[in-house]
Structure 1
Amino acid sequence: MTDLPISSRNITEEPDHDAENNHDPVIQEPRLWRDVGWTARVVKNVDDEGWAVEMIKDGEPEPALVGPWTMGRDKKNPKPLDTNAFNTLVKTASEVLRRHEQQLHALLHKEISVATASAAVNVTLDVIPDDDFPYALLTACDEDGTQLAQVQVRANFTLNKSSATAWVEADFRKPN
């Protein structure tokens, strides 16, 4: 390499075609930014005359976030993306995905504690959303986390205080 100052060097790297190590290059264009695992794309808003921005997480087929985008000074073209806007969009889109994951977890995982004569039993229901054969696992653990029983039940099994108590009192026989 030459002894040019770093700012004067034209550094280009050959693209890595190995699928495991393939990282998309950083792009910072007025309507397209790609960095830190996200792509922001400013597009014509199909719902009205303005512009929209979509945030796509690398490897995902659909945008995690689509929202309105500000018009530029000419009131015709979109405002160009910049570092601050991109960072805000990444933060917002990440939060949307996090909330979605929390909601999905809440739908697929339920937990109830049942008091018995001898101790408390924690009963959990974990739904396995298989396309062909969805099911759920009903599990009982003691206060120390030791598994006492586990049975497979329907994916639409309702776990509530009554059903958990009935299962524990029936010595963990598979509910109907």
Structure 2
Amino acid sequence: MSAPITDTSTDEDTTLHEARLWRDNGWTARVIKNEDDDGWAVEMIKDGEPEPALVGPWTMGRDKKNPKPLDTAAFNTLVKTASEVLRRHEQQLHALLHQQLTVNGPQGPVSVTLDIVPDEDDPHGLLAAADADGEPLAQVRVSPGFKLNRSSATAWIESGYAKPR
């Protein structure tokens, strides 16, 4: 077994390559005992994040007792997979916080958007309307629980963009 390769050029960007712990390119991979059975798991943590982006099963070594050591190829695959998980999470969060639809208004198509602002102290939504050329027609503050659908958008437009209740 070879000695770990360690480069400690800076405190913030420490590269560490050990059998059960790799730290490189803003990620840390840690092989841990699987709590559910006798096997092993690997967790991927992005630098600065408190929770792992990915936790998955890890392969047993040849002795069927200890985990297979981490290596460059496995680490790179784990980084790619964990990055994809984070990207999908960000897309899902964006979809929850930003909605858009187009309805017919008196002067033509109106694009209505709802942007939720998940502020810890003052969560709210911003309901906005724009004409077909993208010119703003109205914007009002609404409850973060406001439901944007064709019916609510049409009712808002028909009310002259009065603040929905």
**TM-score, normalised on structure 2?**
0.91
Partner of 2:54: 65
Q: Which runs of 5+ in 1 are unaligned?
A: 1-11, 18-22
Tell me the amino acid that sits aligned with residue 128 of structure 2: T
Residues 39-58 of structure 1 correspond to what in structure 2 (within 5 A)? 39-58=28-47
State, as a whole percentage, how many aligned pairs show the same letter. 69
Q: Name 1:138's counterpart in structure 2.
A: 127
**Aligned: 1:104 with 2:93:** yes
Which residue of structure 2 aligns with residue 95 of structure 1? 84
CA shift digits 1:66-101 (9 cap, x unpaired): 001000000111000011100110011011111111
Counterpart mapping for 1:12-27 below 5 A: 15-16=9-10, 23-27=12-16
Aligned match of 2:3: none
C-alpha separation in 1, matches of 2:110 and 2:49: 40
Q: Could you tell me how far apart the structure 2 residues matched to 1:24 and 1:40 are?
A: 14
* Runs of 4+ in structure 1 over 4 Å off: 12-17
How many residue pairs match? The answer is 160
Matched, 1:76 2:54: no
**Structure 1 47/59 Cα, relative in aligned 2: closer, same or farther at 3 Å?**
same
Deviations 1:28-84 (A, max 9, x none): 111111111111000111111111000000100100000010000001110000111
Give the distance between the partners of 2:92 and 2:151, measured in 1 at CA. 24
What RMSD over aligned residues (CA atoms) do the two structures have, in Å? 1.6
SS at match of 1:140: strand
Match of 1:4 in 2: none
User: Per-residue deviation at 1:134?
Assistant: 1.3
Of 152, 156, 161, 2:145 maps to 156
Find out whether 1:38 has 2:27 as its counterpart: yes
Larger Rg: 1
Q: In proportion to residue count, which structure has more strand?
A: 2
What's the CA shift string for 1:144-168, capped at 9, x where partnerless?
2221111000000010001001111
List gaps (5 residues or longer) in structure 2: 1-5
